[in-house]
Chains A and B, each alone.
Chain A
């Protein structure tokens, strides 16, 4: 393709589901159409499609309405949607007990639009409100149905199990019964200004063509998925509607309102690409002050709103909003800390991250693996100092097999009884790779050997474009999140982190936070969030990007605002120094991290601040808070002092 085409091509992403085919198939089949600009089509699951818009890898995406609300400030192509007015058949709650008797609901919480719809329907239809939500993969949901446990089933599986359960509630039908309105599942979303009127006309022409070919699409799909052609034809023809008219718009607006007031989604408004071309925009940008007071009230904000706060809100306004949230979440004016020790069991590592001054390549004379004797004296000091856990992390050392870790963990548990906050996702993935075992198996075996929780290191920025530049050999964002998802589903808790200030932009950092928030919606497994900026010093090989104290405080405040579902935010005094650590307690943090005996990675890069427990308590009290020691799950170990 010529360079010129690259510049002018329209990057389109779409969810690769059956119900979307009539809208995207004609575009995918003829990307070069007359004189129009060529289309680059990418197909994926909803989270991938949303990611493409978030990270500016696509201009327009056929994506679920909840994902669009999470990103925020997007426009819709007028007249086109995937909607239903009444039963849709592909989004159902099935159970063996009556709807009112469902106590648990198994569901894939990453399918956010249907999950939010289900929760709203339960709230509206039952006195008891929502059942207990049991997150699982969508393929596991059906198998999870039990005596009092229902399942939310979406997509093809829903068509396949029609009539197989005693009770089945079609959520689109329930929505219409409650609201009298259609339900909109998805539409063509993109940022303002990315589509010309000609582009929009092309989407409408594709729709017309796709609708005319519905039977053909249905038959091909039915054949491939082993479904009845008649059933699939009827699904595309009768159950689904592809128009986005006034009724659908009202239906979508109603959904956004209900979801926002239930605090399940950021408040979203329905806006069309052509609104921006109208002489006077009917929906002006909300005032920054409104946004800040919504933030301070604990409302869920979209990625776009978070980005706006980061760019436009004043230093003090961000601090005050984050402080208000911190006060509401932690009303006792208490700041926690933990007595633990960071033990870096090896510095041998194969990833060569450019921001790291700690690692040594395999075979390097300065490479080490701590011996039992070295470990024994370190751990004894922790026990003597009243420590309750160690944070055990190291390089990716190919000479250490899984059994080495299992024996180490068992030994630490037997000899010292310390909590093991150990091995970041990168290390887990490394073990899975060298042992040719699944992440789940690795985690299960480590858990059996004594692993208590997973540290959230190595997240850096969960945007692959950034990761490739700063840590080529490291896991992808999805892999990192996948390890955490697996750990959380096993009942292990973890922290999460963000190291920024290299090649990342504000938008990347916001996307990072949203990915953490999305996973937390699914699993609830994150205990706390910590962030710090890249420490550019001797031994690192990466020039600093956007970093500095000011940004650190603002960034932490924005994190406190966006991460409404994560309980704790910790101040990173190790990187920022104790003075700024104290100030950070007024920018959303409620935890002062760890009394560190040692920390090798950041200090290899030249930043060393050490503090003992007494000094820690004093620092917290000088900042105007009571202090209390905690364990890794953030439970208080005594009364605050």
Chain B
């Protein structure tokens, strides 16, 4: 499989196959790979680069699953460090932001065995009461699967009840690596690949849009990554319900795989590029800057990515660090990152409707603060 023949396929708009994908991951010429992915990205989106104003809430870190890659694995209620929010506590997060409200609330949690299902329904309703038009992007397929098992319902019933309470779309987390050789070793006690796919299939059938992710850079091989991408492409061919694909770089600190090195900048960019090239039927590829560092995410905007995620994570990090930096600064920083990459910043809502298109470039604004990958660790893992 030569690079040239793959390039020809891409230019003809033909889908790439398994061997193509593996060859691309092994391609030594990083810039040639990036350039090819960039061509597809620009064909689809020109210079437009999306971001949104979202906020992130984790109502509980109590979890029955014991994923090797997760630093919060198997916390029980009452364990030191475990925390489950009272509903008012969760809602207060949005209330505190109402002077400059986000367009999206993104909720991802541990698999808590002791909460009633109504807790989640009330949670959603409460947010909608505060801001009726806020978009609730909540609960990964792994959580939906857990709800179905734990509360004795099928996926459709779970989703229908949540939708009635205010759920708008599903995030893409919990996909990890689908291939059983890997999944059985890193997270054997939560939704399987087929179950993850089935949750999304049901959601799509109900008109609920979703995202998808892949946690890479741990024990998986390039073959496993390509297999993962092809499973997503097959699902998308069936339903068309996925909006964005988000590769997540594995972080080795404080979890069961801490002896592994973190993925390199090269691998981050390569993975974005191959994802863009393989997933010809998923519209958006997101360079999730929390997982790769803002610098790599920014360069990623030339390696196939057309979305740099939202402002929220920023704010959470500041919050965790006790900082009082205004939220608006983070939006400025995102806009600056995008512009500096020579792209056009576009603020979107969760469903990729354009809220605001920014002019292409402006005078240099505030500096982008570079944060250590480590600081952003826990958010990357649970997206």
Give the contacting residue for A316; candidates B261, B296, B302, B364; CB below 8 A: B302
B293 touches A579 (CB 8 A): yes
B31 touches A316 (CB 8 A): yes
List chain A residues, Cβ under 8 A from B293.
Answer: 577, 579
A546 with B299: in contact, given A578-B265, A583-B265 (CB under 8 Å)? no
List chain A residues, Cβ under 8 A from B349.
Answer: none
B370 touches A579 (CB 8 A): no
Give the contacting residue for A549; candidates B28, B266, B298; CB below 8 A: B298
Give the contacting residue for A319; candidates B31, B268, B295, B364; CB below 8 A: B31
Residues 7 to 34 of chain B near chain A (Cβ within 8 Å) = 28, 30-32, 34
List chain B residues, Cβ under 8 A from A579.
Answer: 264-266, 268, 292-293, 295-296
Which of A257-265, A472-480, A616-624 contacts the other chain?
A616-624
List chain A residues, Cβ under 8 A from B336.
Answer: 548
Give the contacting residue for B35; candidates A316, A581, A606, A607; CB below 8 A: A316
A548 to B266, CA, bound (A): 18
A581 to B264, CA, bound (A): 10
List chain B residues, Cβ under 8 A from A548.
Answer: 298, 336-337, 340, 368
Which A-chain residue is minimally distant from B249 (CB atoms)? Answer: A579
A586 within 8 A of B: yes
B38 within 8 A of A: yes
**Most chain B CB within a 10 A radius of its CB, from A323, A548, A619:** A548
A577 to B262, CA, bound (A): 13
Q: How many residues on the A side are at the interface (Cβ–Cβ under 8 A)?
A: 33
List chain B residues, Cβ under 8 A from A192.
Answer: none
A503 to B206, CA, bound (A): 55
Which A-chain residue is minimally distant from B336 (CB atoms)? Answer: A548
List chain B residues, Cβ under 8 A from A580.
Answer: 265, 295-296, 299
Which B-chain residue is minimally distant from A315 (CB atoms)? Answer: B302
List chain B residues, Cβ under 8 A from A546.
Answer: 364
A105 to B32, CA, bound (A): 46
A536 within 8 A of B: yes
Residues 288 to 339 of chain A near chain B (Cβ within 8 Å) = 315-316, 319-320, 323
A547 to B369, CA, bound (A): 12
B283 within 8 A of A: no
Total contacts A-B at CB 8 Å: 83
A536 to B367, CA, bound (A): 7
Which B-chain residue is minimally distant from A615 (CB atoms)? Answer: B261
A550 within 8 A of B: yes
Residues 325 to 341 of chain B near chain A (Cβ within 8 Å) = 336-337, 340-341
A544 within 8 A of B: yes
Which B-chain residue is minimally distant from A587 (CB atoms)? Answer: B31
A408 within 8 A of B: no
List chain A residues, Cβ under 8 A from B38.
Answer: 316
A627 within 8 A of B: no
A607 to B298, CA, bound (A): 18
B264 touches A619 (CB 8 A): yes
A583 with B298: in contact, given A316-B31, A536-B367, A550-B340 (CB under 8 Å)? no
List chain A residues, Cβ under 8 A from B186.
Answer: none
B101 within 8 A of A: no
A537 within 8 A of B: yes
Nearest Cβ in chain B — how far from A313, in angstroms? 11
Nearest Cβ in chain A — how far from B319, in angstroms? 19
A550 with B299: in contact, given A537-B369, A579-B268, A582-B265 (CB under 8 Å)? yes
B340 touches A551 (CB 8 A): yes
B299 touches A320 (CB 8 A): no
Contact with B along A520-545 (1 / 0, CB 8 A): 00000000000000001100000111
B370 touches A607 (CB 8 A): yes
Contact with A along B288-303 (1 / 0, CB 8 A): 0000110110110010
Contact with A along B30-49 (1 / 0, CB 8 A): 11101100100000000000
A544 to B366, CA, bound (A): 7
By secondary structure, the A interface counts as: helix
B299 touches A545 (CB 8 A): no
A586 touches B30 (CB 8 A): yes
A70 within 8 A of B: no
Nearest Cβ in chain A — how far from B289, in angstroms? 11
Nearest Cβ in chain B — how far from A307, in angstroms? 17
A545 with B364: in contact, given A550-B340, A622-B266 (CB under 8 Å)? yes
**Most chain B CB within a 10 A radius of its CB, from A543, A582, A619, A624:** A582
B31 touches A320 (CB 8 A): yes
List chain B residues, Cβ under 8 A from A550.
Answer: 298-299, 340-342
List chain A residues, Cβ under 8 A from B302.
Answer: 315-316
B134 within 8 A of A: no
A551 to B364, CA, bound (A): 12
List chain A residues, Cβ under 8 A from B292.
Answer: 579
A248 to B261, CA, bound (A): 65
Contact with A along B130-141 (1 / 0, CB 8 A): 000000000000
B267 within 8 A of A: yes
List chain A residues, Cβ under 8 A from B142.
Answer: none
Nearest Cβ in chain B — how far from A81, in angstroms? 42
B382 within 8 A of A: no
A549 touches B264 (CB 8 A): no
B55 within 8 A of A: no
List chain A residues, Cβ under 8 A from B269.
Answer: 583
A582 touches B364 (CB 8 A): no
List chain A residues, Cβ under 8 A from B295.
Answer: 549, 576-577, 579-580
Contact with B along A469-508 (1 / 0, CB 8 A): 0000000000000000000000000000000000000000
Residues 551 to 600 of chain A near chain B (Cβ within 8 Å) = 551, 553, 576-583, 586
Contact with A along B239-251 (1 / 0, CB 8 A): 0000000000000
B299 touches A549 (CB 8 A): yes
Which B-chain residue is minimally distant from A546 (CB atoms)? Answer: B364
List chain A residues, Cβ under 8 A from B30.
Answer: 583, 586, 624
List chain A residues, Cβ under 8 A from B261.
Answer: 618
A623 touches B364 (CB 8 A): no
A618 to B266, CA, bound (A): 12
Nearest Cβ in chain B — how far from A435, in angstroms? 39
List chain B residues, Cβ under 8 A from A618.
Answer: 261
Which A-chain residue is minimally distant from B32 (CB atoms)? Answer: A320
List chain A residues, Cβ under 8 A from B370.
Answer: 577, 607
Nearest Cβ in chain B — how far from A427, in angstroms? 28
List chain B residues, Cβ under 8 A from A619.
Answer: 264
Nearest Cβ in chain A — how far from B94, in angstroms? 31
Contact with B along A125-147 (1 / 0, CB 8 A): 00000000000000000000000
A583 touches B299 (CB 8 A): yes
List chain B residues, Cβ under 8 A from A320.
Answer: 31-32, 35
Interface of B toward A, CB cutoff 8 Å: 28, 30-32, 34-35, 38, 261, 264-269, 292-293, 295-296, 298-299, 302, 336-337, 340-342, 364, 366-370
11 additional contacts, CB 8 Å, given A320-B32, A583-B265, A622-B267?
A544-B364, A548-B298, A549-B340, A550-B299, A550-B340, A577-B293, A577-B370, A580-B265, A582-B266, A586-B30, A606-B369
The 4 closest A-B pairs by CB, nearest first: A579-B265, A548-B340, A536-B367, A544-B367
A-B contact pairs, 30 of them (CB 8 A): A315-B302, A320-B31, A320-B35, A537-B367, A537-B369, A544-B366, A544-B367, A547-B367, A548-B298, A548-B337, A549-B298, A550-B340, A551-B340, A553-B299, A576-B295, A577-B295, A578-B264, A578-B265, A579-B295, A579-B296, A580-B299, A582-B265, A583-B30, A583-B265, A583-B299, A607-B370, A622-B264, A622-B267, A623-B266, A624-B28
